[in-house]
Structure 1
Amino acid sequence: MEPTAHAELSVLGRISCRSGGRPLLLAPRGERLLAYLALQRTPVRRDQVYGALWGDSSDARAASNLRSTLWRLPRTEAGPLVEVAEGHVGLCPGITVDLWRLEGEDVEECEQVLLAGDLLPGWDDDWVSVERERYRQLRLHALEELCAARRSAARFADALRLGLVAVQTEPLRETAHRQVIEVHLAEGNAGEALRQYDAFRRLLHAELGLPPSPAMRRLVDTVLDASAAV
């Protein structure tokens, strides 16, 4: 049987940790340790933690920093947030992480996670940058998939919100713009569809000197043909 969650850690948008609905106060070092362990997903060796978080320090100094950080971490009624065992450090089994939800659940259940924002925005650590790009791609695909599902269910406002988040995340991503155009067309807003198409066409030409793909053009061909016939 899976352990009952006793704390929820968020690394999407501003980092935060809550237990029983209440926020836990985290010092900057505590935030970094929790974020690092969340991105690793499984317990890691002590020396790996030393190198990632205190790479410029000696092993002795890094070990002291880790002990101090662990001591200052808040505890929940169910126990600590981090466990250390057999030379490894990891989040306790009762901790849930919002990032993990998108990786382990059906996309239909993850709308709020997808809208939460980027992974640890403003953090420039190498171990964050690699995961941020991986999450960005995962998020874009999930946003488009959920946008299409909401459109098929005639939930046009929800679909449009998801599609526009994908466009904002990656303005040159044609598949994101196509999802938005398809929502406008499904809702009967031909003018909005043409406006979205023209905005993307201009952006793509300005940034890359390229036209939209034939697949993109086919989406609005019927509307363009109707406009020309008037």
Structure 2
Amino acid sequence: MSLQSATLRPPLVDGPQVSIRLLGAFAMNVDSAPVELPAGVQRLVALLALRGRTGRSRLAGLLWPDTEERRALASLRTGIWRVNQAAPGLVVSAHGTIELGLTPAVDVQQLIDHSRALLRGAPDDDAPADPGDGELLPDWDDAWLDAERERLHQLRLHVLEATARLLADHGRFGLALEFALAALRADELRESAHRAVIEIHLAEGNIVEARRAYDACSRTMRDELGIDPSPSLVALVRPGGHAPLHVVTAST
């Protein structure tokens, strides 16, 4: 499933149907029609879509960090008004907190839900896809996005590794290796990604390839971190120490 290209289908609710795209450039549709919003207002919608209910003062401080609180709160009120002009009821304010109403379809949340299902071992289609084919708002440099990007990055790595092991467990070694190598490209210092590559080679009976993958891991970790691979990883490539490939599922 590739959510960057998937059509967002909001559930049927009272009021306009809203979809919000955050992977790649920001986009918002209301009743299937694109809506143009000023940059500051886009950030208000994006932050609420990613973090959910947020205190009014906290929200104003995140969006306008270099502005005094009174002016930031005034900008927030203007932003809320502009959003609700485009999609009445989309931003809801009550008891000092602000959140999105109308249950919009948000591509990032769909990506997270799909990834969690995979990590729980839920069956996927016959052509699994890399969940990281869209970057979170790559042209924005807001500090509050750092944690959200890291969250998606870690989720992607876990999905890639889990998918690789599931594919290998079903004998689909070529595709499994593609997913394991994608995890390795995303973070070459991640030992679990190196482990996935080595385990797949061993499961396929390619002992020499497994040893080469281990040597590459060892060099990288020593050069970059000054440490050796863990004893459990070393045991994989020792004579007689080949561990059986096993499916690993996790929850995030």
Letter paired with 1:150: L
Letter paired with 1:51: G
Mapped to 2, the partners of 1:200 and 1:219 lie a distance apart of 13
Pairing partner for 2:57 from 47, 57, 62 = 47
Paired position in structure 2 for 1:186: 203
1:64 aligned to 2:81? no
- In structure 2, the CA distance between the partners of 1:19 and 1:163, relative to structure 1 (3 Å rule), is farther
The two structures have a TM-score, normalised by structure 2, of 0.69
Paired position in structure 2 for 1:94: 103
Paired position in structure 1 for 2:44: 33
Paired position in structure 1 for 2:167: 150
Q: Indicate the larger mover: 130-139 or 168-177.
A: 130-139
Mapped to 2, the partners of 1:72 and 1:188 lie a distance apart of 61
Identity %: 38
Larger RCO, structure (CA 8 Å, separation 6 or more): 2
Letter paired with 1:172: L
Alignment coverage as a number of residue pairs: 221
Does structure 2 retain, via aligned residues, the 8 Å contact 1:7–1:18?
yes
Paired position in structure 1 for 2:3: none
C-alpha RMSD of the superposition: 3.5
> Deviation digits for residues 188-221 of structure 1, max 9, x if unmatched?
4444433322222211111122222232233333
> Deviation digits for residues 68-89 of structure 1, max 9, x if unmatched?
433444846xx55433344432
The structure carrying a bigger helix percent of its residues is 1
Mapped to 1, the partners of 2:187 and 2:36 lie a distance apart of 33
- In structure 2, the CA distance between the partners of 1:134 and 1:4, relative to structure 1 (3 Å rule), is same
Tell me how far 1:26 sits from its aligned partner: 4.1
- In structure 2, the CA distance between the partners of 1:11 and 1:29, relative to structure 1 (3 Å rule), is same
> Deviation digits for residues 4-25 of structure 1, max 9, x if unmatched?
3833334345444456666544
The two structures have a TM-score, normalised by structure 1, of 0.74
